[in-house]
Structure 1
Amino acid sequence: MRGGIRIAVLTLLVFLGVGLAPALAQETEAATGRAVEWQSGEDVFAAAEELTFDRKVKGGLTAAGRIVILTDDAEIGGDAWITARRVAVEGEIGGDLSIRAQEALINGEVKGNVTFYGLDLALGPDAEIDGNVTYYSPSTAQIDKNAEVKGEINGEDFASGRGVERAEPVAPRGNMRETWRREHMEERWEDRGLAAPGYHMSAPGAVFFGVLAIALALLAPVTTTRMRDGLADEWAIAFGLGLLWLVGLPILIVLVAITIVGLPIAFLLLLLWPLGMVFGLVATLAAFGDFISRRIGEFGQGTLGRIVGIVLATALIWLGISIPILGALVWLAAVAGGIGLLYLGFRTQPL
């Protein structure tokens, strides 16, 4: 449970692309691109979109990213807990190794047991595992003929009737790394222009958020009016409050999750973070729609006018989010501004 909370927090930080407070985290040269890393005792926690770890750690390692690579120089004294889309372990793990990934290559030394949850697991020719290998996957583990596993190999496949096969030698480590990176970049940019990953709204999604905004406007007209006034007069304050929520809440989650006592609170805060983004976008659509309805004359009056205004606002923001590069800024402005508008809309409401 504690490891799961930490990994969820790390994933949030990767998604945000922000650093922690200087006293808690630092940018690290061991990763490709921006990374966050902090240490608790002898244990290290690291996250980056593409993380390459190449040094010694006395304690355990918890890592998250799209691609996580532990090089030959990596030496982990304790357990390693890794979650990513693709994982390559070439160094030495002094304890157990647990991986959650789509694809994983283990081609180093593991003193303890190996547990894998994902689609494809491969053990390279240099793999030396002193304990057991247990994997949960719909496909058969590919194990090189030169790999050494002293314990048992247990394949808990999602599809019945599959076993463990000794495969031909897997691709060289360097080639696999470059293939992963190339496929990662092609997938990231293909058919998406230069739009930032994670900032996308489909047409059904736009309809869904538009319906929620209409419901908010009809059920809380006074609050919607206050949010509209805040959008017109206090937009900078609203955006600042929302940005503080988006950046500050993950930091607070990490600070709370460090202690065992604070784990339940951290879990609740972890649920609030995506909810804030959803309601923030809904609030922006409702406020912007009300703003539009007030400027289209008599037709914009009443319930029908509000609905028309929200439909127009949803279409405009949907189109804005779809613009390459600029779409990420539109998404951020809509979500952060909406979170702040919610505060402005409810601040004078009686509890």
Structure 2
Amino acid sequence: MFTFTNVLAAIVTLGFSTATLADTVSTRNGEDTFFAGSQINQAVDTVGDTFMAARSVKVNGATQGDLHVSGLDVSVSADVIEDLYALGGTVIIRGAIAEDLAAAGFSLRTESSSITQGNARLMGNSVTIEGPVMGALSVMGRDVILNAAIKGDARILAQTLSFGPDAVVSGTLTYSLEEKMSVPDRVAATDRVIFERVSGGRVWEEWQEVSKDMPALPTFMSIMFGFAISLLFFLVLGALMLGFMPKRLSKMRRSIAQAPGQTLLLGVIGLSMLFGMVPIVGLTIVGLPFVPIVLLAIVVIWTLGYALGAYSVAMRLWLGLGGAVEPSSVARLLVLAAAIIFVALLNFIPFVGWVANYTLVLLGIGAMTRAVFQSMLGNPGVALDVDMKPIED
């Protein structure tokens, strides 16, 4: 069953979850091919499965395996020899699919050139089906328009349903609405049409029926479980840092408090250097195998910078509120946990949450960049005059 886990793995592998890449980055693992970037306009000719993730994705060509695509704006014109999985805000399918199609989006459309030889499972706010389906069709949406030939059965759950001139269902048409509608005979004969009225109790049953093989939306408990795992990860990370490098951690924390503006600028410089290593390593040709390692390093440093920034800001607030100058390790971990929870709640505020998280990352990476520069240049110590007395500013 497909759950988009592989797409998420591709995003993490390529570092797309941590920053917007200016150019398309691609890598291979076995017969799998991964693409990530800000905007992807790619002609593919791949042997195995293909994974693509970006803000805007336009893909054409052909792939011999499965095609997995996710983004805000998704357009698939590629022919897929196996299954196609697409997830996005706006999704348009134009290519032919030799096996099954599973797609979800706020606005979802399959065009007449998109012929699905297997089953099609579609979900969205607005769903328009113009591409013929040789197998069964399952649709869940607010407004559904069917204007294509369906060789197998069709099951549709919608608030509004309409049929275009090319709509034909050769199998059984089962539709679920609040009120029964008149289905034209040209779409399906009366004895092959089943109406199931939508009620509060039936909605969830229909959801499970339609979305068996669709990417599932996370439940509240799964979201809370994921947050708990993330919080536990940062607490373990904080405990390791406090245990193995307490003095260095304290020094970096104080550097943020003493010069936040300078540290923020150093964070921009450090992050720019990290991302600049990707094309530089790739251009050496011999360094191409190391590009995934560089991307993984970006993810690791981004995570460490986020934890360090959150911890430093939280400790500054702790001291400002009259907390102990040298609290215990347990108190430090509790301060870090409170910071992670507070920043996570900020994510529910549009734009503000993103800015807060990104600022913490820059502060943390800036402190690490300062430490690296100081270790490379050495500590000049106190400047003395010829009489071995400190020089006054």
So what's the TM-score if we normalise by structure 1? 0.52
Percentage of pairs with the same residue: 16
Deviations along 1:82-105, one digit per CA (max 9) or x if unpaired, are 764258544345x97997755787
**1:330 maps to what in 2?**
356
Residues 299 and 42 (structure 1), Cα distance of their counterparts in 2 relative to 1, 3 Å cut: closer
Residues 56 and 74, structure 2, Cα contact 8 Å, conserved in 1: yes
Secondary structure of the residue aligned to 1:109 is coil
Structure 1 residue aligned with 2:338, among 307, 310, 315? 315
> What secondary structure, in the 3-state scheme, does the structure 2 residue paired with 1:300 have?
coil
Q: Compute the displacement of 1:337 (Å).
A: 1.4
RMSD: 5.8
d(CA) in 1 for partners of 2:119 and 2:15?
22
1:188-207 correspondence to structure 2 within 5 Å: 202=227, 205-206=230-231
Distance 2:83 2:285 in 1: 18
Opposite residue 338 of structure 1, the aligned amino acid is: G
Larger gyration radius, structure 1 or structure 2: 2
Matches within 5 A, 1:144-183: 146-147=149-150, 165-167=152-154
Secondary structure of the residue aligned to 2:131 is coil
Please tell me the residue identity of whatever aligns with 1:146: A
Gaps of 5+ in 2: 1-5, 26-36, 140-145, 165-216, 377-393
In structure 1, the partner of 2:71 is 65
Whether the 8 Å CA contact 2:39–2:55 is kept in 1: the answer is: no
Does residue 235 in structure 1 map to residue 260 in structure 2?
yes
Q: Which residue of 2 aligns with 1:341?
A: 367
Tell me if structure 2 keeps the 8 A contact 1:224–1:290. Answer: no
Distance in 1, matches of 2:345 and 2:54, equals 25
1:16 offset after TM fit, Å?
5.8
- Write out per-residue CA displacement over residues 211-236 of structure 1, whole angstroms, 9 at most, x where no aligned residue: 53243123212211220232023433
Query: Distance between the aligned counterparts of 2:274 and 2:119, measured in 1?
Result: 31
| Cα distance change on mapping 1:280 and 1:101 into 2, 3 Å | farther
| Counterpart-to-counterpart distance in 2, 1:105 and 1:258 | 39
Task: Please state how far the C-alpha of 1:36 moved relative to its aligned partner.
Answer: 1.9
Larger relative contact order (CA 8 Å, sep ≥ 6): 1
Query: Unaligned regions of 5+ residues in structure 1, if any?
Result: 26-33, 134-139, 149-164, 175-187, 192-197
Equivalents in 1 of 2:360, 2:149: separation in Å?
55
1:278 Cα shift?
A: 2.2
**Partner of residue 33, structure 2:** none
CA distance in 1, matches of 2:241, 2:229: 19
In structure 2, give the amino acid aligned to 1:332: Y
Higher helix share: 1
Q: What number of residue pairs does the alignment pair up?
A: 277
Match of 2:22 in 1: 20
Deviations 1:299-324 (A, max 9, x none): 433x61x5434533542453244232
Give the 3-state SS of the residue equivalent to 2:149 in structure 1.
Answer: coil
Name the counterpart of 2:237: 212
- The answer on 1:269 being equivalent to 2:301 is no
Q: Is the 8 A contact 1:98 1:115 kept in 2?
A: yes
Q: Paired residue for 1:126?
A: 131
Q: TM-score, normalised by structure 2?
A: 0.48
